[in-house]
Each structure stands twice: as C-alpha cells, then as structure tokens.
Structure 1
Amino acid sequence: MERRTFIRLAATASLSAVLPATLWGCAGNDAPSSAPAGGDAAPEGAAAATWGVGPNGESQVIVSMTTSSEPAAGFNPLVSWGAGEHVHEPLIQSTLITTDTNLNFQNDLATSYECSDDGLLWTFRIRDDVKFTNGEPLTARDVAFTINGIVNGEAAEADLSMVREAVAVDDFTVELRMVRPNNALLYTLAVVGIVPEGAYGPDYGQNPIGSGRYMLEQWDPGQQVILRANPDYYGEKPLMERVVVVFMEEDASLAAAQSGTVDVAYTSASLAASVPAGYSLLNCGSVDSRGISLPANPAGGQVEDGDVVYAAGNDVTCDVALRRALNYGIDRARMIEHVLNGYGHEAFSVGDGMPWSSPAMKVATDVEAARQLLEEAGWALGDDGVRAKEGTRCAFDLYYAANDSTRQALAYDFADQCKELGVEVNPKGGSWDELYQHQYSDPILWGWGSNSPVELFELTYGDGWGNYAQYKNQTVDANLEAAQAQVSIEDSYGYYQAAQWDEATQTGVAPQGAATWVWLANVDHLYFERDGLKVAEQKPHPHGHGWSLVNNIDRWSWN
C-alpha cells in the first residue's frame, strides 16, 4: 500500500557524522580492536568492531533498512508493528501461526486450530510452556486481549474487522467469534504479535514485552534498533544472537556497505552494479508489483470517504477498449530492461505466482492488436499522432510519487510506449497528499504486493478500499465473497481466480475483461550481502524494502 508515514532523518544526510558514531558506539569497550573487512578505522575515541561479532562476543548482524521502515508507533502490534504497509513477522512477539517459505501455515503459539462448518467460529489451542520476557506466563487471555484490542482499536492497522470478539474459554483455548466467514483471518494472524494483558500500557511500543525470538535491547529513534535473542524463547534457539537495524536513505545505505559498517545493505536496481568489495548482490524474489489503476467510469462521479468527497471517473480510461489496448500494447520486458536494469519480472496482476493468481491475467505484448482495438472503438489517429473520439483526445495524466525515482522512470517509459499506440500520457509527480486527490479520477502508478489474497480482494471488490477503478460487477463480487467464505484456504483459490476471469460468464478484471489495471513489473528486492554471511531462504517479499527480509533472521549465520 502507499498510505505510509515517512520518517525523515536529517541525521543521515552525512554518513560520516552519524553512522560511525552510532555503530561504533554499539561495540562497547570490550570489542576487538580490528576494523571491519574493507572498512575504515574507527573514529578517534571510539571502540572498533569486528563484523559478525557483537560487543560481548555474540553473533551479530547489522542490516540497513529504509527510513520508512522505522515503526513510528514503536513495536506495538495493536498499532502497526508487523502490519500495515510492510507486513512482516513481529520478532519480539509470538504469533498464533506463521508461514513457511512456501507460505504454508505452521503453528507457533497454537498447537491446533479448527473452524466451524459455517465459518463463524475459529478455535485455537495454544502452548502451555510460553512465558513473556517479564516472567509471566502467556495464556489465552493474552491472545483474546490482543485480538480484541486490534478489533476495537482505531489506530490498529492489522485488519481483523471480520472478528466480532475473541474469548478465552480456558487458560489455553481461545475462540474467535466472527462477524462473517472470512478465511483471510489466518493471513493476518500470521503477523499479529501477542502482547501481555497485564503489562500493556501507553508506552508499550517503546518498551515492548513479548515472548518471541528477540527482545528489544535498544532503540535510538531516527537511527537504529538493536534486538537481542530471547534466552527463554520456547522454540529453537536463534543462531543470530544480536541484530542491529539502522535506518537510512538509499545513498547512505550504499555508503555504509562501501565503508564496511553494515553486513546487509538494501539497494535499488540503479545502484545494483556498484557492489562493494567484500560483498555480493542478494536478489530476493518479490510480489512487489507496480501497476496503474484505470478509472472505469465516465467523469462526473464522486466517492465519499467519511467527510471527504473525491471526484471520480475519467472520460478516456472509461472506454474498456482503451484499457484493454494498454494491457496488450505495453512491452513489459522492455520496460524492465530500461528502468530496472533487468532486476524484475513482468507483472500481470497483484500477486503473480501466488496460489490465488490466475493465468488468464497474463497477456503477450501485441502492439498491432492494441492499435486495432483502438481503431475498432472509434479512436482515430490525428495529424498530431494522438487519437481522438467524438471530440475527446486520447490523452490522460498519470500520477506517480515524485520522491520515487523508479516510479518516475516507469511512468515516463510507459508514456513513451503509449505514443506508439497514439495515446498521449502526461506523467505528473506529486506528494501522496496530492495523489490521493486523484485516486478515483486519474490513473496512478501504485506499488502493491502481499503474501495474502487480501489486496486482490480489496483492489477488485466493488466496495473494496482499493477499488480505484470503481468497477463493480455482481459476478466478480460473488466470487470474491465465496473465496473468503471457504473454510479451507485451498478451496478459496478457484474463486479468486474466477474473480479475475470467469470463462463461463466472460467476466472479470483480466485484460480481456474489464482491464481495470495495467500491471507493469514486479520489482526485485536487492541487497548487498557481506561475504561470509549466510542469509536463510526467503519467502517471497511483499511490497517495500523492510522487515520482511529479517523474518527468519534467527536462522541466519556466519560461515
């Protein structure tokens, strides 16, 4: 999603002024005296550090993340920790269930769970050997407290709106009583950290108490977070005993790797060729998709969101032939080479390759077919190279986030390719506050991607919070509702696929149907990884460089 709070750090403007003081300062007086391999000597008066070794001789890794990865509300699952835009495992807290690298559900706190035949009651039985880091046992009451806190919390970003209430039946059994059947519950529970009812308060985000793999050792807002392995963790002991996460802009992340002061540094396609000595490029597959929403109705409509009223509709993109032509006429492979230097792959939906994705969403580039669609729909080519129909020029604005160079480049490449079709696209960069004003009336270049079908539902369902196209179809909605109502997750996949394209009814949002989006690329998540570090196998990364990389950091190790 794009609804984020950006944390701007003036301190990271000068790496030499901030990073060495921060990281060298972590080493403590007992650190070894040698500098990191390929790095600079420690600043005068500061203890030096050795990569892979923490201040007390423990195994340690230092990872850079984007400034937007720092949790503004702290490490509080009842607000946004683990949820929101960059979904990830909460590390500090345990979850009822989790997912493996193939996205299959695995028990964590839960020992078993089941759903009633009508989908309205989920029962979870939990372990009886778990303690919070304050020494108190974790019980079903803590689970119920956490879930009810999210259900009733106005600030909560985890979506548990399908739950009416959570009830602790006994110390180790909790029931989730549903408002409606919705198996998407499981995807959310896999990232919701359980907090202690007796120790939860206003400052919990700054001083979290959990039962997870790690404990918060230190948080220097605007700079870094340090996690230390929980010695009383009930599961397998973490191999990586200390984790330092530093928040910085992209250029500073590269400089940190070049100076040898981080072990894993996030980077982008434009900088991927600048691999520092002593590092290799780590390429993590993602479902981080870039796509353009295409309003499906004529201009003049409105969308009400609380007290805010947005203009809706577009007199050019409301023509389904135009939307289909854009899907067929764009050479995504060419775009990936031009903009991403090959570090990505073609996108045709939100969630390509996931079990709920539909092969019907994939189209082959066919510029001539796209031109023919436009001709047959009455879009005649003018002397200026731009098509027109009944006095309306085939031209529209395309909005993108001005602070994102990749989206800017994608927007301009898309505009160049559209010229070949006789379609005039005018890229316009702006802040997200500006973009939101146009979300229902103009095409916008978005970033989406999740290890859950929730985004597919919300971007496609008639009343979904992400249905920017404002396309509404009863058959599509019925398939989406049926998908969520299945007791078995596996049984939901076919319904999700039918919502994208139902061959029997010839309906759906696929390019041959309503074509409500033109998806462009899935962006690879790139990192500079220090030689000698073994990063464990990754799940497909959701949208955003952030905490998803370290979901399994307890399984990382040094060779």
Structure 2
Amino acid sequence: MTARTVRSVAAATLAAALIAVTAACSNPAGGSAAADTAVVGIANEPETLSPLLGYGKDGNSKIFDGLLTHDAQMRLRPALAVALPEVSADGLTYTYRLRQGVTFSDGRPFGAKDVVFTYRTILDAKTNNASKTELDAIADVREQGPDAVVFTLKYPYAPFAERTVLPIAPEHVAGRQDVNSGDFTTRPVGTGPYVLTGWSKGEKLSFAANPTYWGGAPAVKKFTMAVVKDDDVRATRLRSGELDAAILPPNLAKGFEKDEGRTTYTAKSFDYRNVTLPTHHNVTGDVAVRRALDLAVDRGAMVDRLLEGAGRPAYGPVPTDSPWFTAGTERAHDLPQAQRILDEAGWRPGADGIREKDGVRASFPLWYTSGDKIRQDHALAFASDAKKAGIEIKVEAGTWEVIEPRMKTDAVLAGGGSPADPDFDQYLLLKAALGGDGFNNMARYDNPVVDAALEDARRSADPAARKAAYNTVQRELVRNPGYVFLTHIDHLYVVGDRWTGPDGGPLTTQVEPHDHGLGAGPWWNVENWKPKQ
C-alpha cells in the first residue's frame, strides 16, 4: 500500500441490495449459477470508489474510464480520448481529443468539463488525495471546446501520458457534493463497462453490466468481487465452488494445479514486499542496523520456500529484469558481514545473544496484516534471519486500522510497486517531505541525495538523465537503506474454465502493480470475456 485515501462506510441500502444480488448469482455447489455471471475472490478492497480520492488511478476501474487505458502488453491506448495525445515540441502541452456520444451510467453526457473538473479537484488542497503529488507537473488544464482538453505542464514530465489513465468523474454528480465525504465516494457514477449495484464493506462489491457502455455491453452481465482477506478461507471458498476465481498465494494455488475445469494464470508484477525501518525508532533509526538487516536477509530462500519460485529477490522497488534496474545493486546474503557491521557500530551481543548498545536492546516490533499468509511468512522469515545477526524482531498481526497509528516507530511488512514508470512508486515511497503522509514514505526515510535525484528524474524528459537519477536512488538504498526489500511476487489466479478472452482464446493477464485484485488479474478486461461455447 503506497497511498492513503479517505475511509468511508457503505450505505445500508447498498448492503441490502448486495445481499439480493449475491443470492441470485452465487451457487455454492458449482460457482455462478448463470453463464453470464462471475464471482471472484479478492484479498483487499478500496477505501473509496471515488477517483477524486485516488480510486483507480493506475487504470482498469470497472466503473470508470480514463482518457487512455492499457492493453494486454501495457501499451497506452485511447479510451475516452479518440487518440493518444498531441504533444508540443517542448513537451509542455498535451492535447486530448475526446470521444463523442459517451454517456455516464445515469444517462448524462460526458464532455471536456468533466475532465477539467476531475483533475482540478484532485489538485485542490482541500481534496484528501494523498497521490496528488503524482500530478505535480500540471500547471493548468482547460477545455478547448466541448470535445478537447489541453494540459499545460510546469516542466517536461516524460511519463505524463501514463497519468491520464486516471478515471474521469462526472461534474454534475461529484461537483455537487463534499469531495471527501459525499455519497459519490460509495455510490459512484461513471462511463465504465459496469455499474456498482452494491457494496458491503469487508464482504462484497457487486456490479451489473452497463447496457449503454460506449465500448459495447459486456457479455458477463453480473460481476461480484468477494472480499476475502484470509488466504486459506479464499482457497476454501474457491474449492467449494462458491467462487469462480480467486487470487491465491503460491502454496495454495498449487493445490489446484491438477483440477479439471480450472486454470492457474501467472501475472508478472512489480509488486514487492519490504520491511519498513522507521527512522524514529532508536534501533531501526541506526543506519548500521539497517545495513546489517539488508545483508542478513536470505532473499533467495524466501523466493524458493515462501513463494515456491513464483517471484524474484528484491533489492529495491525496481525488479531485476526491468530496464530501470541498476546493475551492481544486488545484495548477497552475507551474515558474517552483517555481524561485522553491528560489531563496528557498537552493537554487542548480550547474554541471550541479542545485541545491545548504550543500554538499548536491539529489538523492535514488526507488523503484518492479519490473514495475509504471504506477509506473515515473509515477516517470520525476516525475523528468523535477523535473530541470527543478534537482532530480536517481535512479529505482530493486525488490521491497517491497528497498524497505521504505529508506523512512525514500528516496522511493517509492507508492499508497493508500479510498472508504468519508476516515478510512480519511488517518489511516494522515498520522498522525505511525504514521510508520515498516510502510507506514503512509511519509514519516514530522509535522504537529501535521494530527494534531489527523485526531483531530477521527475523533471527531465531525457531518458538517459532519468536513468542516471534512478541509478543514484538505487545505489543510495544500498548505502543507507530505509527499507529492506525482500521479494518481487508473481500474482497467481485460479479461474474456472467457463470463459474465453475476446478473441476466443485463453484469458490474459498484464504486468501488474502492487494494488492487485479489483482491476488486475485475468478479469482486467472482464468486459470483453465471452462464455465458452
């Protein structure tokens, strides 16, 4: 999780509607009752369904569309725009021509005013969108007639077009409410292929096909996302037939490999698991402790044993097979070197083997989210590796409501990652000014060299200069880690063989970000699925 959005509670009327929809479309004996219905199990749900507060900012919302979208290969394609943007020679002006004849799900027309409203509202200081720094490059956005929008940038921002997959909200609905607490946050109206019919927080989100969708009415008419935070329970519900599909950790997905009528899909991702090392704790605030932990961890063993090979060691936010990865920043598992670093920094083993310095015991808590087996396994393995170096880690489980107030001083088994551009994840993860801003920079990492490099990379249009800046960031994370990165995880989805892709072939996945579940997985394009004949 890398950004905070406003928490809100679904209306009771939606919960009642959801119960009716779920009863009609779920068949515990064999998945969905109808060929045009799908029920999928996800691990997490959003805190809001308003794009003004951060929902769907990386694309693939089922309720909304952006100006652009991604295809299966993560290439940008037109959505509410009719073409990719026209970009001025100096890289400071982006012009989007808009699709005509598009309506919101309430029947009102979509137009340029809605695009301008969406971006201006997000950038408004009163809007509680912790991701608004991702749009920092925008100096102005304005209508150019009813069917075109022009963005003017403060500086050339190479990945700006990637930012325009952000969903567009209707001014005539959201503009008449409090942006942070109005009904739109739980009862959204969009131009997307589906309409929300019910949301019971912590249980289910239900959708019905939008019959007037500009891209054509979906063949899957009812789509339910069952929120099942516990991995074992999700697997059990899939096995019983209550779910048609689910995201599962590798060890549980393996149990479905030989099942007839089900297929496991592997999605490569930028999704990492890491441990925050809060600078405001008297143990993890010591750079020597952070460097030692970075070397004491056995990443290869985690990939082999915890992920059963479905992932890669992580040495930073960028996967090793990405062109943005900095060669030479790989860290081998080196327990003797970790112990030497601690010895030289004055952390000496006590009678029980746990180190001490100036009366401070080398001990700290590490939190993970309850029911998340992958995080639990990573936390326990990390604690075991740390103990061999003489550092005691007390592993605790809790909800985000329990964990968030403790993040200033307590370590967290966290995650993040974005495949679109390194700016999208690293700026929020590492920028000192964002420390303590919700789930941004959870460790409160403060490194002026990194801050300067992040700004240089963000403000340059030169690919070589951007690569050099991100090389600096990754090398600084070796010298002064604010986090210990553990693994990059492949996402595994088990899906019943009742549908085909839009061309009659198998379902597909994309390269995925950390935020998986709602818009990712094989259902990233559920609006294009076809029932198998």
TM-score with structure 2 setting the length: 0.80
Please report how far the alpha carbon of residue 249 of structure 1 lies from its aligned counterpart in structure 2 after TM superposition. 4.3
- Residue in 2 that maps onto 1:266: 247
Quickly say closer, same or farther: Cα 1:132–1:526, change in 2 above 3 A: same
- Residue in 1 that maps onto 2:13: none
Q: Is the 8 A contact 1:289 1:447 kept in 2?
A: yes
- Residue in 1 that maps onto 2:29: 40
Q: Is the 8 A contact 1:287 1:351 kept in 2?
A: yes
Q: Which amino acid aligns with 2:524?
A: N
Q: How does 1:221-240 map to 2 (within 5 A)?
A: 221-222=200-201, 224-235=204-215, 238=218, 240=220
- Residue in 2 that maps onto 1:169: 144
- Residue in 2 that maps onto 1:554: 527
Whether 2:36 is the aligned partner of 1:64: answer no
- Residue in 1 that maps onto 2:116: 144
Partners in 2 of 1:476 and 1:64 — Cα distance? 39
- Residue in 2 that maps onto 1:243: 223
Quickly say closer, same or farther: Cα 1:225–1:177, change in 2 above 3 A: same
Quickly say closer, same or farther: Cα 1:148–1:488, change in 2 above 3 A: farther
Q: How does 1:404-419 map to 2 (within 5 A)?
A: 404-419=372-387
Please report how far the alpha carbon of residue 520 of structure 1 lies from its aligned counterpart in structure 2 after TM superposition. 1.1
- Residue in 2 that maps onto 1:321: 288
Quickly say closer, same or farther: Cα 1:555–1:447, change in 2 above 3 A: same
Whether 2:93 is the aligned partner of 1:126: answer no
Q: How does 1:330-349 map to 2 (within 5 A)?
A: 330-349=297-316
Q: Deviations over 1:177-226 (max 9, x none)?
A: 44665455444321x222333454544456544333x1316325355444
Partners in 1 of 2:9 and 2:300 — Cα distance? 34
Quickly say closer, same or farther: Cα 1:356–1:555, change in 2 above 3 A: farther
Quickly say closer, same or farther: Cα 1:136–1:20, change in 2 above 3 A: closer
| Range moving further from structure 2, 356-365 or 157-166 | 157-166
- Residue in 2 that maps onto 1:456: 426
Q: 2:490 aligns with which of 491, 516, 524?
A: 524
Q: Which amino acid aligns with 2:392?
A: E
Quickly say closer, same or farther: Cα 1:169–1:395, change in 2 above 3 A: same
- Residue in 2 that maps onto 1:215: 194
Please report how far the alpha carbon of residue 540 of structure 1 lies from its aligned counterpart in structure 2 after TM superposition. 2.3
Whether 2:454 is the aligned partner of 1:480: answer yes
Q: Deviations over 1:131-164 (max 9, x none)?
A: 4445554322221122222222524455235434
- Residue in 2 that maps onto 1:304: none
Identity among equivalent positions (%) equals 29
Please report how far the alpha carbon of residue 481 of structure 1 lies from its aligned counterpart in structure 2 after TM superposition. 0.6
Question: What SS class does the counterpart of residue 53 from structure 2 fall into?
Answer: coil
Q: Is the 8 A contact 2:102 2:214 kept in 1?
A: yes
Question: What SS class does the counterpart of residue 444 from structure 1 fall into?
Answer: strand
- Residue in 2 that maps onto 1:400: 368
Partners in 1 of 2:255 and 2:9 — Cα distance? 25
Question: What SS class does the counterpart of residue 432 from structure 2 fall into?
Answer: coil
Whether 2:347 is the aligned partner of 1:358: answer no
Quickly say closer, same or farther: Cα 1:438–1:20, change in 2 above 3 A: closer
Quickly say closer, same or farther: Cα 1:356–1:126, change in 2 above 3 A: farther
Partners in 2 of 1:41 and 1:331 — Cα distance? 42
Q: Is the 8 A contact 1:65 1:245 kept in 2?
A: yes
Q: Which amino acid aligns with 1:63?
A: V
Alpha carbon RMSD of aligned pairs, Å?
3.7
Quickly say closer, same or farther: Cα 1:462–1:166, change in 2 above 3 A: same
The structure carrying a bigger helix percent of its residues is 2
Quickly say closer, same or farther: Cα 1:545–1:235, change in 2 above 3 A: closer
Please report how far the alpha carbon of residue 62 of structure 1 lies from its aligned counterpart in structure 2 after TM superposition. 2.5
Partners in 2 of 1:315 and 1:147 — Cα distance? 41
Q: Is the 8 A contact 2:187 2:196 kept in 1?
A: no
Q: Which amino acid aligns with 2:147?
A: F
Partners in 2 of 1:156 and 1:315 — Cα distance? 31
Matched length: 498
Quickly say closer, same or farther: Cα 1:467–1:263, change in 2 above 3 A: closer
Q: Which residues of structure 2 form unaligned runs of 5+?
A: 11-16, 178-182, 501-505
Q: Deviations over 1:234-255 (max 9, x none)?
A: 4477564543333334455334
Q: Deviations over 1:458-511 (max 9, x none)?
A: 22223234334444343322221111112467863442232222xxxxxx12x2
Whether 2:24 is the aligned partner of 1:25: answer yes
Please report how far the alpha carbon of residue 328 of structure 1 lies from its aligned counterpart in structure 2 after TM superposition. 1.9
Partners in 2 of 1:437 and 1:260 — Cα distance? 38
Q: Deviations over 1:81-106 (max 9, x none)?
A: 314xxx54223322111233443333
Partners in 2 of 1:295 and 1:248 — Cα distance? 30
Q: Is the 8 A contact 1:166 1:175 kept in 2?
A: yes
Question: What SS class does the counterpart of residue 397 from structure 1 fall into?
Answer: strand
Question: What SS class does the counterpart of residue 541 from structure 1 fall into?
Answer: coil
- Residue in 2 that maps onto 1:189: 164
Quickly say closer, same or farther: Cα 1:26–1:292, change in 2 above 3 A: closer
Quickly say closer, same or farther: Cα 1:554–1:392, change in 2 above 3 A: same
- Residue in 2 that maps onto 1:285: 268
Q: Is the 8 A contact 1:412 1:427 kept in 2?
A: yes
Q: 1:543 aligns with which of 514, 523, 528?
A: 514
Partners in 1 of 2:260 and 2:298 — Cα distance? 35
Quickly say closer, same or farther: Cα 1:536–1:405, change in 2 above 3 A: closer
Q: 2:77 aligns with which of 106, 109, 120?
A: 106
- Residue in 2 that maps onto 1:32: none
Quickly say closer, same or farther: Cα 1:157–1:424, change in 2 above 3 A: closer
Quickly say closer, same or farther: Cα 1:269–1:390, change in 2 above 3 A: same
Whether 2:234 is the aligned partner of 1:253: answer yes
Please report how far the alpha carbon of residue 433 of structure 1 lies from its aligned counterpart in structure 2 after TM superposition. 4.4
Partners in 1 of 2:384 and 2:195 — Cα distance? 49
TM-score with structure 1 setting the length: 0.77
Quickly say closer, same or farther: Cα 1:41–1:435, change in 2 above 3 A: closer
Question: What SS class does the counterpart of residue 170 from structure 1 fall into?
Answer: coil
Quickly say closer, same or farther: Cα 1:82–1:476, change in 2 above 3 A: same
- Residue in 1 that maps onto 2:341: 373
Partners in 1 of 2:449 and 2:497 — Cα distance? 53
Question: What SS class does the counterpart of residue 411 from structure 2 fall into?
Answer: coil
Please report how far the alpha carbon of residue 538 of structure 1 lies from its aligned counterpart in structure 2 after TM superposition. 1.6
